[in-house]
Structure formats: structure tokens, C-alpha cells
């Protein structure tokens, strides 16, 4: 994961990983943030009963949640210190039933704006041999909420 983006916050990785750690909904189901570079973020989720639907595949709502987070955190790598990101909207296509030992959501920033950013996320099924096959793609708009200026 190379990157042409220059982060505004030198400590972007720490800020993103702390925010991710506070997301109980993700960490409690076993999601792990892997690569994190300016403009990109990858989140891996191993299969378990907690993330499955009745046929034993990954649940669509879980896939969307992980993809949404990968895009949002990719955007957050490029925001100023103290800023927060909110999902304005996304669109997701499901490409195949997600039956695999794990899924990997790779989000990247397509446009980094002061207020609005646009990201694109590919979610792959990770085979036991490490092979990747796409199971969903997501296109997303993220809003940055700038930190309030501190008035002394």
C-alpha cells in the first residue's frame, strides 16, 4: 500500500487506532485493523458465529459495517488532529456469498476535501491459502467535523 497523500496530522496512525479501539461494535466481533497508511486502511475480520447469518456466511450487515469503517478510517488518516469523521452515505454492492475464514476490507480515499471526502472500499474473502476474492464493494461520502478552536 503505497500512498501519495501527505497527512495533516503527524500522529494520524495513533489517532485512528485509538478511535478504532473505542469502537466496541467492531473489536468485540474480532475485527483487527491491519495496514494503515495515509489515505488507506485495511480491516480484517475472522469468521465466527457472531458474524454469520443462518446459512453460515458472513452477515451482510457485518460486511457493510466493516467496509464502512475501513472507508471512514482511510479518510481519517488525512484529517487534522482532533477532527472526527462521520459517514454521510454509502452504497454497497454484494458480489458473492461471503464464505471464507476471513474477510478483508481495503478502503482508500479517492477525494480528500476539507469538509467532504470520498472513499472506495473493496471487501475480499480471504482463503486459507491467503487468496483474495471480492465479495462486496462500497462507495462512500465522509464528512469531516473539524475540531473547535479553543478560546482561552
- Is 106 within 8 Å of 96 (Cβ atoms)? no
- Residues composing the chain: 152
Using CB under 8 A as the binding rule, whether residue 95 contacts a second copy is answered as yes
Minimal distance in Å, beta carbon 39 to a second copy? Answer: 13
Under the binding rule (CB under 8 A), the answer on residue 23 touching a second copy is yes
Query: Binding a second copy by CB under 8 A: which of 82, 101, 111, 147?
Result: 111
Output phi, psi for 27, to 5 deg. Answer: -70, -30
128-137 per-residue burial string, b: 16 or more CB within 10 A, e: under 16: eeeeeeebbe
Q: Give SS3 for 144.
A: strand
d(C-alpha 124, C-alpha 44), whole Å: 10
Residue 4 or 129: the one with the smaller Cβ distance to a second copy is 4
Contact region for a second copy (CB under 8 A) — 5-13, 31-39, 86-94, 98-106? Answer: 86-94
Site string for a second copy, 64-83 (x = CB under 8 A): xx--x---------------
Positive or negative: CA dihedral 112, 37, 30, 91: positive
Interface with a second copy (CB under 8 A): 22-25, 53-54, 59-62, 64-65, 68, 86-96, 110-111, 115-116, 118, 120, 122, 134, 137, 139, 141, 143
Amino acid at each position: 500500500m503505497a500512498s501519495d497523500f501527505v497527512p495533516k496530522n503527524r500522529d494520524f496512525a495513533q489517532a485512528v487506532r485509538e478511535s478504532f479501539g473505542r469502537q466496541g461494535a467492531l473489536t468485540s466481533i474480532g475485527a483487527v485493523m491491519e495496514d494503515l497508511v495515509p489515505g488507506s486502511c485495511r480491516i480484517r475480520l475472522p469468521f465466527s458465529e457472531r458474524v454469520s447469518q443462518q446459512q453460515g456466511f458472513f452477515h451482510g450487515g457485518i460486511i457493510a459495517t466493516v467496509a464502512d469503517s475501513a472507508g471512514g478510517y482511510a479518510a481519517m488518516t488525512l484529517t487534522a488532529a482532533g477532527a472526527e469523521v462521520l459517514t454521510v452515505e454509502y452504497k454497497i454492492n454484494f458480489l458473492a456469498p461471503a464464505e471464507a475464514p476471513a474477510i478483508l476490507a481495503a478502503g482508500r480515499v479517492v477525494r480528500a476535501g476539507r469538509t467532504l471526502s470520498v472513499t472506495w472500499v473493496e471487501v475480499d474473502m480471504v482463503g486459507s491459502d491467503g487468496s483474495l476474492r471480492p465479495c462486496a464493494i462500497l462507495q462512500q461520502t465522509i464528512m469531516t467535523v473539524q475540531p473547535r478552536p479553543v478560546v482561552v
